[in-house]
Structure 1
Amino acid sequence: MGRGVAGAGWPSASPPPAWDGLQWRLSDVTELPRVREELRRHTAAQGPVELRDRLLLVLDEMASNALRHGGGRVEACVRRTGDAFLVAVSDGDPRTPPTPAVDRDPSEGGLGLHLIAELSTAHGWYVEGDAKTVWAVLPRR
Structure 2
Amino acid sequence: MTSEDQHSAAVASWTQDSPVPVQAGEQRLTLTLESLAGLVQVRRQVRAFLVSGLDDGTGAAGQDAVGDAVMVIDELTSNALRHGSPPSRLLIRDEQAAWTVVVVDGAPGRLPTPATGRVEGEGGYGLYMVSDLTESHGVHYEADRKLVWARLAKPAGGS
Distance 2:47 2:138 in 1: 24
Among candidates 13, 19, 30, match of residue 18 of structure 2? 13
Q: Secondary structure at the match of 1:56?
A: helix
Distance 1:126 1:119 in 2: 19
Kept after mapping to 2: 8 A contact 1:88/1:135: yes
* Matching residue of 2:47: 40
Would you say 1:86 and 2:92 are equivalent positions? no
1:68-124 deviations in Å (ceiling 9; x for gaps): 010221101111234111111011110122111111122111111010011011111
Distance 2:33 2:84 in 1: 12
Q: What is the CA RMSD across the aligned residues, in angstroms? A: 1.7
Question: RCO higher in 1 or 2 (8 Å CA, sep ≥ 6)?
Answer: 1
Kept after mapping to 2: 8 A contact 1:9/1:98: no
Unaligned runs of 5+ in 1: none
* Matching residue of 2:83: 69
Distance 1:8 1:137 in 2: 17
Distance 2:13 2:115 in 1: 9
* Matching residue of 1:107: 121
Please identify runs of 4+ aligned residues in structure 1 that moved more than 4 A: none
Work out which of the two has the higher radius of gyration on C-alpha atoms and give 1 or 2.
2
Q: Secondary structure at the match of 1:99?
A: coil
Kept after mapping to 2: 8 A contact 1:23/1:75: yes
Change (3 A) 1:82 1:14: farther
**Deviation of 1:44 (Å):** 2.0
Would you say 1:125 and 2:130 are equivalent positions? no
Letter of the 1:24 partner, please give it.
L
Question: So what's the TM-score if we normalise by structure 1?
Answer: 0.90
Unaligned runs of 5+ in 2: 1-8
Letter of the 1:115 partner, please give it.
M
Would you say 1:52 and 2:66 are equivalent positions? yes
* Count of residues in correspondence between the two structures: 138
